[in-house]
């Protein structure tokens, strides 16, 4: 049965290890963040630079592993899924990057960029041209 809540984030927390040879304090990027997004609604996340917005988005999209907390997408606990099941979920949870120059690789053709995701998700059939 589909859940009314498309996204449920509970107690999401991320600590990054110090960059310089493991020394220095942990970067506490996100601390105990919870929110819900009902199906069909939109949430805007606003905050000063460095407040953790991108890190929250990356944890929701499973690009960064949370230190603590949970993410439920359409009733499914994403942090507990196998790598294979997480990869399937990537077809439904998309990240739209703000900077097109950072998201479109100049080393790839447009054809390669468009087909890469379809190949990974095994969607469609290969053309002949």
The residues that touch ligand ATP, with contacts defined as CB under 6 A, are 16, 27, 29, 47, 49-55
Please report the sign of the dihedral spanned by the C-alpha atoms of residue 24, residue 33, residue 69, residue 94: negative
Q: Which residue has the tokens 């991108």?
A: 54
For residue 5, how many other CB atoms are within 10 A of its CB? 16
Nearer of residues 43 and 91 to Mg ion, judged by Cβ: 43
54 binds Mg ion (CB under 5 A): yes
Nearer of residues 1 and 20 to ligand ATP, judged by Cβ: 20
Q: What minimum distance in Å lies between the beta carbon of 103 and Mg ion? A: 14
57 binds Mg ion (CB under 5 A): no
Instruction: Work out the angle at residue 56's Cα, subtended by the Cα atoms of residues 118 and 47, and round it to the nearest 5 degrees.
Output: 125
Residues 125 and 24: their CA atoms lie apart, in Å, by 51
Q: What minimum distance in Å lies between the beta carbon of 41 and ligand ATP? A: 22
Residue 49 binding: pick among ligand ATP, Mg ion, none (C-beta 5-8 Å cut-off by kind):
ligand ATP
């Amino acid at each position: 049965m589909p859940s009314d809540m498309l996204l449920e984030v509970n107690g999401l927390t991320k600590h990054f290890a110090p960059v310089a040879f493991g020394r220095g304090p942990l970067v506490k990027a996100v601390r105990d963040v919870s929110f819900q997004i009902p199906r069909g609604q939109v949430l805007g996340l606003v905050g000063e630079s460095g407040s953790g917005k991108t890190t929250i988005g990356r944890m929701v999209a499973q690009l960064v592993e949370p230190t603590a907390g949970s993410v439920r997408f359409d009733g499914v606990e994403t942090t507990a899924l196998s790598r294979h099941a997480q990869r399937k979920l990537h077809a439904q949870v998309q990240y739209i990057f703000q900077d097109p120059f950072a998201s479109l690789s100049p080393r790839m053709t447009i054809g390669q960029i468009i087909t890469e995701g379809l190949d990974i998700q095994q969607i469609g059939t290969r053309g002949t041209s």
